Structure 1
């Protein structure tokens, strides 16, 4: 049987994640890897989760933990999220929160809900590779979101019409973005909201790294800024995507969407059709751990990752040849390198693996048009200081060999 003859057209846009493939290198002890943007498992609150799972599986709780549940998500966890949203300047209720299987599922649902083939999604350049993977299935056209640029809303609309659809949403990772580590300032956030108003589109605010700020003052989420403009979350077009993957544990796959109840109710229908609900046991455990250790645990993460970031920035300054530049993130897990224009990050990776036993992610995969091959992403979350120092030394050698 020729399966290609019966696959939907969308399958032609589904590609293997370059990061997921590179993660396989983590099992090779001789490789120093800065590829996977993943938390350090040594920092997981394991004992707290052991206690939480034991409690969830106790005689008084096991029936609920192991049974089917409501699609919206575990009520006490949604209540905790409501408290966190309010602390960020986002007053809301349970009805404004849907629990998803990681924020990645939220991105998939939002793409499915809004994109018809040929519609345009505005994304940053570069942008989170997982967002492109989620949206690709719905066959959109991508256009460059430039919150500080001089493109008019009319230009965006005409470009989308010429591509066969209309602009549906603007997507941005706002704090310590994957892949660049950069943060959208207040003016950029306000500009995105202004553009969305004129185009009458949604705004998807990806806040997976919001808790990992090491320097500088916090900036209000776009949803908080929009509520300040309009008075109520029910009047807002911004949809806030949060996650416990970077703060507590990625393996339990618990995230959420916060937005107007009218939109959340539509997402609930998608949840019902896709997987009924996220695992109740996992949600109960996350709720217990979040309520008991979240503040202290995230403070520990910030101390640890901040020190590793500083080590990487210092090592880059010591070992990078002239012509290489990099971002200096205030938080998150990533540093973004720009190589001299004639260089190719994928070719550099191949050489670095062979000659230096070093891994990272070529930057081209983070661009919707596969441009800017002379870039790469480094993650500092998983390596200790010695590996970071040695890794940057090897990276400098690999770059010099290609120049």
Structure 2
């Protein structure tokens, strides 16, 4: 018995695990957001870090009814059984109607249900990217997408619809890096992290570029339903279909999610695209996890059919008020030289600090002196730039927490600025 630890230690030393890992594993990094979410368990910390919905707003009664119906009567066997990889048919039928309301005529063969839209991004990275191929992404971009794509060893180039770059320049840069451009990825509505929305003109420019390069377009629509102000802008997929005539001819792949509207814990998202793309994603689903949890899909289908529009109206009202309060608090408490976006929807305000300040340093000072958390912006840039930026989420903080937390954050900014000034003197 006394020799067991020594034997275990010797065994561990014999096996060099890193030498067995695939080269792609070196590009897998811990999520800063996942780590920061641990702070939610500390009551003294006011967190603007996690881009997560407020659990107090979940339609729990509708889910209770849906789960009860799924687990009673003859349907119980189906809810607990293996299912088809494409997804629960009634849910896919509801999604067909949802996509039609967004200007996207399609059928059930154009829909696959995934385990959240994060799984969809992973599958699309796997489907399109060979090592050294180029993905066009925005600067900044959703860090979960970068994490998903990183596993497939791509290169990145900056997607800027109104830049002066010619399409051939993107192709040339990709060739110099040893691959070709495969897709353009963006969150067109209330983007994570910037909160910004692409105008219709910008969306048309993205489609023009994609046609010139003959590449796919991945539209991440996780926040598309959360509009608080302004006129709705047509989805990239609907604009694409208007150009080419049908979803089967479209190059745009729409990734949707119930995580920000109904509840994230059930992990239900979907992809809407040409059946040629969906058929490949079905094969990946079969090889990966067979299918998304049937019980969860049945429950989501019940809630979507019974309360979706009411739920959207409720959360939009609450989040709009919190967005307004955060913008007011930033105006009141941020020192001169700090700027921020004014989003028309979503969950985020993107803050730019004066040149020379570092968001990671500010986070350390903010946690130590003010008990306020946020996400430093550097992780959202494919080239690790943007050190003087940060993301604030207003979705899970009430108005008094926003007032207090932004006030504290303003003090932390001034503290760090003072230290910088002392270092220069």
TM-score interval, normalised by the smaller of the two chains: over 0.9
Question: Which blocks of at least 5 consecutive residues in structure 2 are unaligned?
Answer: 1-14, 418-425
Superposed, 1:121-140 pairs within 5 Å as 121-140=135-154
- Correspondence for 1:278: 292
- Secondary structure of the residue that 1:376 maps to in structure 2? strand
- Correspondence for 2:318: 304
1:136-170: per-residue Cα shift (whole Å, max 9, x none)?
Answer: 00000000000111111100000000000000000
Residue number among 162, 169, 193 corresponding to 2:176 in the alignment: 162
Cα distance in 1 between the residues matched to 2:83 and 2:93: 16
- Secondary structure of the residue that 1:209 maps to in structure 2? coil
Cα distance in 2 between the residues matched to 1:154 and 1:213: 36
Cα distance in 1 between the residues matched to 2:402 and 2:162: 34
Does 2:320 match 1:295?
A: no
Residue number among 76, 79, 102 corresponding to 1:62 in the alignment: 76
Cα distance in 1 between the residues matched to 2:28 and 2:416: 32
Bigger Cα Rg = 2
1:303-336: per-residue Cα shift (whole Å, max 9, x none)?
Answer: 0000000000000000000000000000000000
Does 2:162 match 1:148?
A: yes
Cα distance in 2 between the residues matched to 1:284 and 1:341: 50
Does 2:33 match 1:19?
A: yes
Question: Which blocks of at least 5 consecutive residues in structure 1 are unaligned?
Answer: none
- Report deviation, 1:59: 2.2
- Secondary structure of the residue that 2:328 maps to in structure 1? helix
Cα distance in 1 between the residues matched to 2:73 and 2:258: 27
**Ranges of 4+ aligned residues in structure 1 off by more than 4 Å:** none
Residue number among 91, 94, 105 corresponding to 2:119 in the alignment: 105
Cα distance in 2 between the residues matched to 1:151 and 1:394: 42
- Correspondence for 1:330: 344
Cα distance in 2 between the residues matched to 1:350 and 1:27: 18
Cα distance in 2 between the residues matched to 1:395 and 1:19: 18
Does 2:412 match 1:398?
A: yes
Cα distance in 1 between the residues matched to 2:367 and 2:276: 50
Cα distance in 2 between the residues matched to 1:291 and 1:354: 46
- Report deviation, 1:372: 1.2
Superposed, 1:198-217 pairs within 5 Å as 198-217=212-231
- Correspondence for 1:36: 50
Cα distance in 2 between the residues matched to 1:82 and 1:389: 42
Cα distance in 2 between the residues matched to 1:277 and 1:357: 42
- Report deviation, 1:230: 1.0
Superposed, 1:226-245 pairs within 5 Å as 226-245=240-259
1:75-131: per-residue Cα shift (whole Å, max 9, x none)?
Answer: 000010100100010000000000000000000000000000000000000000000
Cα distance in 1 between the residues matched to 2:365 and 2:91: 47
Residue number among 83, 89, 93 corresponding to 1:75 in the alignment: 89
- Correspondence for 1:388: 402
Cα distance in 1 between the residues matched to 2:27 and 2:355: 28
- Report deviation, 1:182: 0.3
Cα distance in 1 between the residues matched to 2:362 and 2:409: 9
Residue number among 91, 94, 108 corresponding to 1:94 in the alignment: 108
Cα distance in 1 between the residues matched to 2:85 and 2:35: 32
- Report deviation, 1:222: 0.5
- Secondary structure of the residue that 1:251 maps to in structure 2? coil
Residue number among 266, 278, 283 corresponding to 1:264 in the alignment: 278
1:193-244: per-residue Cα shift (whole Å, max 9, x none)?
Answer: 0000010100000000011000000000000001011110000000000000
- Report deviation, 1:60: 1.5
Cα distance in 2 between the residues matched to 1:104 and 1:148: 28
Cα distance in 2 between the residues matched to 1:301 and 1:191: 32
Q: What is the RMSD computed on CA atoms of the aligned residues?
A: 0.4
- Secondary structure of the residue that 2:265 maps to in structure 1? helix
